[in-house]
Amino acid sequence: MADIVTIRNLTKTYGDGFEALKSVNLGIRKGEILALLGPNGAGKTTLISTVCGITRPTSGTITVRGHDTLKDFRAARRLIGLVPQEISLEPFERVMNTVRFSRGLFGGGRDDAHLERVLRQLSLWDKRDARILELSGGMKRRVLIAKALSHDPRVLFLDEPTAGVDVELRRDMWRVVEGLKADGVTIILTTHYIEEAEAIADRIGIIAGGDILLVEEKAALMQRMGQKQMEIQLQDPVTEVPAALADFDLQIGGDGTLIYTYDAQGERTGITRLFSALPDAGLVLRDVQTRQSSLEDIFVNLVNGDAA
Amino acid sequence: MNIGAIRAIYVFEMARTFRTLLQSIVSPVLSTSLYFVVFGAAIGSRIDQVEGVSYGAFIVPGLIMLTVLVQSVNNAAFGIYFPKFIGTIYELLSAPASFVEITAGYVLAAATKSLVIGLIILATSFFFVDLTILHPVWMLAFLVLTCLSFSLFGFIIGIWAQNFEQLQLVPLLVVTPLVFLGGSFYSIAMLPPFWQTVTLFNPVVYLVSGFRWAFFGASDVPVLASLAAIVVFTVACIAVIALIFRTGWRIRK
């Protein structure tokens, strides 16, 4: 699928010399949900802010549907909606007015029918005349999304949209995001929650130290980088790995089991050979369980530089 | 040009005025009425005419200027500072609007509020003094230009300010003293020669003088000098704002 956002050699160095982005290259496909994962200070928010025009790039180019975000900023920004990390809303303003204001800023004429659709989609229609300060935290986050959607953007940036919200609300937000995707909106979200990326993203990007470490299809990433572990329960628990099994990558489990880690995509997993070797070591097999490593494991490995 | 953005900011800011009607309009009108009572009726009745006008009438242009200048600076400064303070400035910076549209929205709203307050004070003054306006069109032109130019100045203050104390610093410590020392309540001809020369370095003198000329046909400095001073001040403010947006100073990282 064609890229709707193209980022080329993007760098950002702040006035104090801190290099927040180091020659970032990224293509965001039309209609996808791309999750950007990264630790604090990785450059996630700087990347989003630079695409949206809040932060000036030091060098490099960004285009949105072919429109340069600096030279042709009006056309580029009309295509973009941004939901910021912080809940930034005028406390005394009413929901409908603040959403109408956002639409106006983007040059959209008054279209209350569209705003009604957006508010209904986000379950905010009943609160349209409420003041922002009367709303719960979760509703305020929805208002931020409504404001971002008020001008009908084709690309939506969500900067940690579920930070600090409870599990139920987070899942609710995922449904909203999936609904937007179904409407053809391209979604880029940054998150600390690995399960969020696992649950809703099509592709995963991992960013650390201002570098994009990888961008890959979620399923392919988990398959390619996922390691499997097999827990071998024995008739008689062991306290150390027998010498006859020293050639295998084995560890002792908490209750005297053997933990065997192997590459599920490897040509040979070594499982057959291991099972054959167990009787030679005087061990009797009782039960076996396997477990796939999660995206979290992959993320930690990559960020720690252990993933090669 | 994104006219919709200008309209959106203007409507949003004006709505804030209506939400805070007591603070925005009633309060400045009440305090100016007190000036009329104290300076115009109580003290003014014991002062001879100034430049052929009763003292009560003489101070009307100065009082309007005092309020309009402070209100213009305060309104525009708060207008742009508040989004910075609560974080909603992200919306302005990510919108398809240039500095021209953003500035126009805030400055027009601030100038409108000041203009309305100025006109209300003018209307109020008719209850206290006999007043004839010799050049009503010029009076209105001076008033509008002053509202716009000082709203531009206030916009700069709002961008510069990093806390509420700084936001109040310039209106309280710079604008108000300049207005009081700028001939609001006296003709600079009443000052000793040395202080007359010093006062000419106060830009507010030119505003008050031009505005007073529109009322009574007499001025401390030539009317064209007053007009030129407003135009130069306006152009300077626009140039500074353009520079701020081009460099992103204190608004864009």
When divided into structural domains, chain A yields a total of: 2
Shared domain for A149 and A53, answered yes or no, is yes
A19-29 and A250-252 as β-strands: parallel, antiparallel, unpaired? unpaired
Spatial CB neighbours of B66, under 8 Å, sequence gap ≥ 6: B32, B35, B176, B179, B180, B184
Shared domain for A165 and A212, answered yes or no, is yes
State phi, psi for A104 to the nearest 5 degrees: -60, -40
Spatial CB neighbours of B233, under 8 Å, sequence gap ≥ 6: B149, B153, B203
Task: Look at residue B16 and tell me whether its pLDDT is greater than 90.
Answer: no
With an 8 Å Cβ cutoff, are B4 and A54 in contact?
no
Say how far apart CA A297 and CA B248 lie, in whole Å: 40
* Cβ-based contacts of B7 with chain A (< 8 Å): 104
With an 8 Å Cβ cutoff, are A147 and B91 in contact?
yes
CATH of the domain at A120: 3.40.50.300
**pLDDT tens column, A31-40:** 999 999 888 8
**Residue of A53, A56, A75 lying closest to B94 (CB–CB):** A53
| Structural domain includes residue A297 | no
Enter the ipTM.
Answer: 0.86
Shared domain for A146 and A273, answered yes or no, is no
Q: A11 vs chain B: nearest CA distance in angstroms?
A: 13
Q: Which of B11, B91, B103 is the mutation pick for testing A, counting most A CBs within 10 A?
A: B91
Q: Is A9 helix (H, G, I), strand (E, B) or coil?
A: strand
With an 8 Å Cβ cutoff, are A105 and B91 in contact?
yes
Strands of A59-64's sheet in order across: A19-29, A3-13, A59-64, A67-68
With an 8 Å Cβ cutoff, are B90 and A88 in contact?
yes
Say how far apart CA B232 and CA A191 lie, in whole Å: 51
What is the pLDDT tens value at each position of chain A, 308 positions in all? 689 999 999 999 998 889 999 999 999 999 999 999 888 888 999 999 999 999 999 999 999 999 999 999 999 999 999 999 889 999 999 999 999 999 999 988 889 999 999 999 888 999 999 999 999 888 898 999 999 999 999 999 999 888 767 777 788 888 888 989 999 999 999 987 777 888 889 999 989 889 998 898 988 877 666 677 889 999 889 988 988 888 888 889 878 899 998 877 677 888 888 988 998 888 998 899 887 766 677 777 777 764 44
Q: A237 vs chain B: nearest CA distance in angstroms?
A: 59
Q: Which of B3, B82, B253 is the mutation pick for testing A, counting most A CBs within 10 A?
A: B253
Q: Is A183 helix (H, G, I), strand (E, B) or coil?
A: coil
Which pLDDT score, from 0 to 100, does residue B245 have? Answer: 86
Which pLDDT score, from 0 to 100, does residue A306 have? Answer: 46
Comparing alpha-carbon positions, the chain A residue that sits nearest to B85 is A88
Shared domain for A203 and A64, answered yes or no, is yes
| Structural domain includes residue A218 | yes
What's the residue count for chain B? 253
Say how far apart CA A18 and CA A31 lie, in whole Å: 33
User: What range does the domain containing A110 cover?
Assistant: 3-223
With an 8 Å Cβ cutoff, are B88 and A90 in contact?
yes
| Structural domain includes residue A117 | yes
CATH of the domain at A240: 3.30.70
Shared domain for A7 and A27, answered yes or no, is yes
| Structural domain includes residue A211 | yes
Q: A78 vs chain B: nearest CA distance in angstroms?
A: 6
Shared domain for A62 and A23, answered yes or no, is yes
**Domain ranges (residues) in chain B:** 3-247
Largest pairwise CA distance in chain B: 59
Say how far apart CA A91 and CA B158 lie, in whole Å: 20
Q: Are A11 and A161 in contact (CB under 8 A)?
A: no
With an 8 Å Cβ cutoff, are B9 and A92 in contact?
no
Question: Residue range B174-191: average pLDDT?
Answer: 86
